[in-house]
Chain A
Amino acid sequence: MPKLTIDGKEIEVEAGTNLIEAARRLGIEVPHYCYHPGLSIAGQCRLCMVDIEKTPRPSIACNTQAADGMVVHTDTERVRDTRRSIMEFHLINHPLDCPVCDQAGECWLQIYYMKHGLYDPRMTDEKVHKPKAVPLGPHVMLDAERCILCSRCVRFCDEITGTGELGIFHRGDHSEIGLFPGRDLVNNYSGNVVDICPVGALTDRDFRFQVRVWYLDAARSICTGCARGCNIDVHVNRRRPHHAEGKRVARLKPRFNADVNAWWLCDVGRYHYDFVDAPTRLTAPVRRNNTGTADIAWDEAVSGVAEALRRYSPDQVGVLASPRMANEDLLALRRVLEARAMRQVAYDVPPPALAEGDDFLLRSDRAPNRRGAELIGLGGDTGGLMASARAGRLKCLWVFHHDLLASGWPAADVRQALDRVETLIFTGTNANAISERAQWVLPAAAWVEREGTFTNFEGRVQRFRSAVEPLGQALPEWDLLGRIVAALGGTPAGGRAELWFRELVRTVPAFAGLSYQAIGDHGQLIPGATSAGAPTPPGRRVKVHG
């Protein structure tokens, strides 16, 4: 392993490590645009110049591998001067339209100009004009004038998705990013090019002109779009509620996890959050009976549901849990079931159409916690449960999240079952055909409004954190279920998600030994599970020359 010195500090790195990464480990940032650790080295932006002793002129750090005995300086007068020049070159044809640019506030041209530029502009000639506001596909908009031609997006489509929609066309300062003839940027990972674009050239059509980034707060979370559990940051706007028509969740951004998703996030997951701020959100507990429908207080809802559960013998009650529920929720539900010795529980409701996975991150299983539901012991015979309902053997049915009338079951069968049930209870985030006819509706907080853990398809338990407050009176499911446990005479694990998780670890052997601390930001595998790591990107599976 080569040992080198960077700015007077010694460090030993694995062979093949470049100087940007070696410096990063020492906490030294070498500014760069085109370099991205997930992509090949392009060496185009020329910003990452460093001085290497015994080398006549500054070298690009991205394409220089650490060598034993190498002495590197990242902050000499010559390096600072070179950076200043490169910044000037990057900016001479840039439109400087920051006030109307969505990237402003997280733009690396702004950041590096303030850190490494600060020259007096000398460009007085007409700038080069290029196409603006060009839709590249359903999610991405291009402003070619803002583009610094770092080629990250081109390399992403070549090397990660292997779809090759983008290229750099023309020459010299008329070079521009564009689509190959007849192509659109339509692949399930298109949103990533916005993430890796260091400037405002590629913006998200979903995010454009919604909110300035400096009003956003972020929380670490897990994507709920499928069973992979890609690590994300949830960006929310709490400070300017009048922006973006009150939408609180502004966007989801991938968060690096080498063992799950690397730097990437698929579009299915990325845009799977509209329900959080949708008008269909359930915001108060509801009681529906022959006198009408009324919003009620939680106490009344909890005692009403507890009473209904007590009213029937355990074999007259069926529960349809959901693989969208967190581990903590599922354990709390199990406690409710145990309190009444109820056994008829299942979570597998067939979807209307079988979802397909893709050849990279997206799994065909579109629920984030099927593995958790299975391990916590809520798996059962869904079809049998529905058959009992249809046969009139169930008097009470409690549905979590599912819209059974939009499932893979024939609607007539579902209607027949629902018609024969006396008491229908619904718990979920959004209204659907089931909540519309339920006697009791218990509104649940969406995953971005609360804490919890999911177990992904490999058995990796990962934490998600609260980014915004629950809408209205919605509660995390572990909370509302805990209240019902208490109402049924049991003892809930506690008033925090972590306490339920600790009880999970203590009582369900599959989760033995885990802890919030150990899960951290990386996730922790359940005992006996193994991880294959993030899959090899499709674009890297075929050997490409050169």
Chain B
Amino acid sequence: MAEIVLMRNFGRQDSHTLAGYRATGGYTAWEKAKGMEPAAITEEVKKSNLRGLGGAGFPTGMKWSFVPKTHTGPVYLVINADEGEPGTFKDRYLLERDPHALIEGMLITARAIRSAKGFVYIRGEYVQPWRIFSGAVKDAYDAGLLGNGFDIVVHRGAGAYICGEETGLLSSLEGKKGWPKIKPPFPAIKGAFGEPTVVNNVETIACVPPIINRGADWFAGLGTKTQGGTRMYSVSGRVTKPGVYEDSCAVTLRQLIHDHAGGVSHTGKLKAVVPGGGSAAILTADEIDVAMDVDGLKAKGSMIGSAGVVVMDESVSIPEALLVLARFYAHESCGQCTPCRESTGWIYKMVHRIVDGHGRKDDLDTILDVAKRGGGTTICAFYDGAIGPYISYIEKFRGEFEALCRS
């Protein structure tokens, strides 16, 4: 097992306080970063192979470097704390147990991208994390860490999954309906309030202070060749010890389930695993010897996404599991663009009919065809996420679906 980096303070009773954070070396990275050129910070993060931990896995340093150097107006740093991917609950732990890690990471990031204002967009349902994080922000202001060239605005969402999509989040932050924006322009060029904006996940930014403190090489060495560091895996479902576990990006799915989460519960026999949140394609029991980094899962036709691992044992009905997700996507589609708006509802109706025993076998081909046809045609990645489960659940467990259908 790799060194614990992100959850290093979680065992302390006072980990959420400024004093507790300082006691374990908190804000020393910020002191160090203040002596670095902005470009040097970005360079260090690039070298660390840190990739976005919210879902897309985009190289973080590269994202920062897209902000136009010649821009004279404001640049915004927006933290995506709208954690809503089914099966994901890691950012909640960070906000509650190490809020200053995020604040310190934001200070350093803001220096790198020359931002004077950061927004933290917290999922509406996260009341406790919001309270704790807001308290930490207040303490940071009182200590003069904030308010001297960098300010943080804490903003609460109102309960829409789509506001976790980075441009949907920006629309919502601007006071509009949380609809994703058409790209181009990308947020780094024209983001929040029309200004260049970097949107990063909570966990991603919490990685920044250790990178600055201990160096890019150390961080890169914790992971795989293409992704550095450790990350937090939310493991849930049919395991003996569900919870959040930190390990290297190179850990395998089997290790996570067996070494960390105590193995498969209930029947004890593994049927399937969702490796990276609801939108990741499902893996069968014999596909779990896979490295949990961006490229490892990509090679298996799935994705690491937000690293929300949902384990299903033999007693779980895959069609019913798909029904839960199909309802979720139909309910959460923002409705802005046509393929997603119309087909998430349509597919939900078809899956519902199948689970109810009124399905026809050709419904399965219709779902697959509709899902594939809509893929890649939408404004944002929501629908491409939705088709991950639609297609993989049916293709990998077709027999279970057919057994429910009339011939």
Residues of A within 8 A of B (CB): 41-47, 49, 57-58, 60, 63, 81-82, 85-86, 88-90, 92-93, 122-123, 125-126, 128, 148-149, 167-168, 170-175, 545-546
Taking a contact as CB atoms under 8 Å apart, the answer to whether A89 and B339 are in contact is yes
Interface membership of chain B positions 321-365, coded 1 if the CB is closer than 8 angstroms to chain A and 0 otherwise: 000000000111111111101111110011001000000000000
* Contacting residues of chain B (153-198) with chain A, CB-CB under 8 angstroms: 160, 162, 170-171, 174, 176-177, 181-182, 184, 193-194
Contact B379 A546 (CB under 8 A): no
**A172→B345 contact, CB < 8 A:** yes
With A172-B332, A172-B344, A173-B344 known as contacts, the answer to whether A545 contacts B174 (CB < 8 A) is yes
B194's nearest neighbour on chain A, judged by CB, is A545
Residue of A nearest to B345 (CB): A173
Contact of A85 with B373 in the complex, beta carbons under 8 Å? yes
Which label, helix, strand, loop or mixed, suits the secondary structure of the B interface? helix
Instruction: Tell me the complex Cα distance, A125–B347, Å.
Output: 10
Pair B333/A171 contact, Cβ less than 8 Å:
yes
Expressed in whole angstroms, the Cα–Cα distance for A49 and B337 within the complex equals 13
16 residue pairs from A and B, CB less than 8 Å apart? A43-B182, A43-B379, A45-B338, A46-B339, A46-B378, A63-B184, A86-B338, A89-B339, A93-B345, A149-B336, A167-B177, A171-B333, A173-B345, A174-B345, A546-B193, A546-B194
Q: Is B243 interfacial (CB 8 A cutoff)?
A: no
B344 contacts across to A, CB distance below 8 A = 172-173
The reply on B374 being an interface residue by CB < 8 A is yes
B336 contacts across to A, CB distance below 8 A: 44, 149, 175
Set of chain B residues within 8 Å of A123, measured between Cβ atoms: 346
Q: Are B341 and A173 in contact (CB under 8 A)?
A: yes
CB-defined contacts of A174 to chain B, threshold 8 Å? 335, 345
Q: How far is the CB of B205 from chain A (nearest CB, A)?
A: 24
Contact present for A173 and B339 (CB under 8 Å): no
Chain A's closest residue to B342 (CB) is A89
Contact residues in B for A545 (Cβ distance below 8 Å)? 174, 193-194
Contacts of B176 in A (CB 8 A): 546
Minimal Cβ-Cβ distance residue in B for A543: B194
Tell me the complex Cα distance, A545–B181, Å: 13
- In the complex, the answer to whether B338 meets A126 with C-beta atoms within 8 Å is no
Per-position 1/0 for B220-256, Cβ under 8 A of A? 0000000000000000000000000000000000000
User: Roughly how many angstroms separate A307 CA and B210 CA in the complex, as a whole number?
Assistant: 106
Chain B residues within an 8 Å CB radius of A43:
182, 337, 379
B68 contacts partner chain A, Cβ-Cβ < 8 Å: no
Instruction: Note all chain A residues with C-beta closer than 8 A to B376.
Output: 57-58
Q: Please name the 7 residue pairs, one residue from A and one from B, whose CB atoms are nearest each other, closest first.
A: A175-B335, A173-B345, A43-B182, A85-B373, A172-B333, A89-B342, A125-B349
Check B267 for interface membership: any CB of A closer than 8 A.
no
State the CA gap A126–B358 with chains docked (Å): 14
Which residues of chain B have C-beta atoms less than 8 A from A41's C-beta? Answer: 182
Residue with the greatest number of chain A CB neighbours at <10 A, chosen from B176, B193, B346, B378 = B346
Bound-state Cα–Cα, A49 to B336, Å: 17
Are A171 and B342 neighbours in the complex by a CB distance under 8 Å?
no
A317 to B236, CA, bound (A): 99
Measured between alpha carbons, how far is A546 from B194 in the docked complex, in Å? 5
Determine whether B377 belongs to the interface, using a CB cutoff of 8 Å to chain A: yes
Complex CA gap A255/B41 in Å reads 57
Q: Are B349 and A126 in contact (CB under 8 A)?
A: yes
Interface membership of B24, Cβ < 8 A: no
B315 at the interface (CB under 8 A from A): no
* Chain B residue contacts of A172, Cβ below 8 A: 330-335, 341, 344-345
CA distance A60 to B338 in the complex (A): 13
Collect the chain A residues with CB atoms within 8 Å of residue B334's CB: 171-172, 175
Supplied contacts A86-B338, A89-B342, A171-B160, 11 more A-B pairs, CB within 8 Å: A44-B336, A46-B339, A57-B376, A89-B374, A123-B346, A126-B349, A128-B345, A149-B338, A172-B332, A173-B333, A546-B176
Smallest CB gap from B352: residue in A: A125
A86-B339, A149-B335 as given contacts; A546 in contact with B174, CB under 8 Å: yes
| B366 interfacial by beta-carbon distance below 8 Å | yes
Q: Are the CB atoms of A85 and B335 closer together than 8 Å? A: no
Bound complex: CA of A534 vs CA of B342, how far in Å? 38
CA separation between A168 and B373, bound complex, in Å? Answer: 26
Complex formed: what's the CA distance from A58 to B184 in Å?
Answer: 15
List B136-166 residues whose CB lies under 8 Å from chain A: 160, 162
Separation of A45 and B337 alpha carbons in the complex (Å): 6
Closest to B174 in A: A546
Report the separation of the CA atoms of residues A168 and B338 in the bound assembly, to the nearest whole angstrom.
14
Among A41, A86, A125, A173, find the residue whose CB has the most chain B CB atoms closer than 10 A: A173
In the assembled complex, the Cα of A170 lies from the Cα of B334 at a distance in Å of 8
B338 in contact with A170 (CB, 8 Å): no
Cβ of A493 to closest chain B Cβ, rounded Å: 57
Contacting pair A58 B194 (CB below 8 A): no
Min C-beta distance of A154 to chain B, whole Å: 10
Contacts of B160 in A (CB 8 A): 171
* A92–B335 CA distance with the chains assembled, in angstroms: 14
CA distance A86 to B341 in the complex (A): 11
Q: Give the distance to chain A from B20, nearest Cβ to Cβ, in Å.
A: 39
Q: Which residues of A contact B337 (CB under 8 A)?
A: 43-46
Contact A44 B345 (CB under 8 A): no
Q: Which of A41, A93, A545 has the most CB of B within 10 A?
A: A545
Inter-chain CA distance A128–B377, complex, in Å, is: 22
For the complex, give the distance between the alpha carbons of A89 and B345 in Å: 10
- A149 → B minimal CB distance (Å): 7
Could you say which residues of chain B place their CB within 8 Å of the CB of A170?
A: 335
- Knowing A122-B366, A125-B349, A168-B335, the reply to whether A175 touches B341 (Cβ < 8 A) is yes
Q: Are A89 and B335 in contact (CB under 8 A)?
A: no
Chain A residues with CB under 8 Å of B170's CB are 546
Q: Which residues of A contact B345 (CB under 8 A)?
A: 93, 128, 172-174
Given A125-B346, A125-B350, A125-B353, A171 and B331 contact (CB-CB distance below 8 Å): yes
Q: Which residues from chain A contact B335 at a C-beta distance below 8 Å? A: 149, 168, 170-175
Measured CA separation A545–B336 after assembly (Å): 19
B200 to chain A, nearest CB (A): 20
Q: Tell whether A85 pairs with B374 under 8 Å between CB atoms, given A122-B366, A167-B177, A546-B194.
A: yes
Shortest CB distance A203–B (Å): 22
Q: Which residues of chain B come closer than 8 Å to A46, judged between CB atoms? A: 337-339, 377-379
User: Which A residues are in CB contact (< 8 Å) with B338?
Assistant: 44-47, 86, 89-90, 148-149
In angstroms, Cα B332 to Cα A78, docked, is: 29
- A92 B342 Cβ-Cβ under 8 A: yes
Q: How far is the CB of B84 from chain A (nearest CB, A)?
A: 14
A49 — which chain B residues lie within 8 A by C-beta?
377
Report A-chain residues with C-beta under 8 Å of the C-beta of B379: 43-44, 46
**In the bound complex, how far is the Cα of B379 from the Cα of A144, in angstroms?**
23
The complex places the Cα of A148 from the Cα of B333 at a distance, in Å, of 15
Closest B residue to A544 by beta carbon equals B194
In the bound complex, residues from chain A placing their C-beta under 8 Å from that of B342 are: 89-90, 92-93, 173
| A81 to B379 Cα, complex, angstroms | 18
A314 vs B228: C-alpha distance when bound (angstroms)? 101
B182 touches A63 (CB 8 A): yes
What A residues does B330 contact at CB under 8 A?
172-173
Chain A residues with CB under 8 A of B332: 171-172
C-alpha spacing A125/B345, complex, angstroms: 10
Q: Which residue of B lies closest to A172 (CB)?
A: B333
Q: State how many angstroms separate the Cβ of A54 from the closest Cβ of chain B.
A: 16
Residues of B near A92 (CB, < 8 A) are 342-343, 346
Q: Which residues of A are found within 8 Å of B343, using beta-carbon distances?
A: 89, 92
A24 to chain B, nearest CB (A): 20
Cα distance A175–B177 when bound, in Å?
A: 12
Among B162, B174, B345, B350, find the residue whose CB has the most chain A CB atoms closer than 10 A.
Answer: B345
> Which single residue of chain B is at the shortest CB-CB distance from A84?
B373
B199-210 CB mask vs A (1 if < 8 Å, else 0) is: 000000000000
> Which residues on the A side are within 8 Å of B171 (C-beta)?
546
A42 contacts across to B, CB distance below 8 A:
182
Which chain B residues border A167 with CB–CB below 8 Å? 177
Closest to B344 in A: A172
Contacting B377 at CB < 8 Å: which of A85, A126, A173? A85
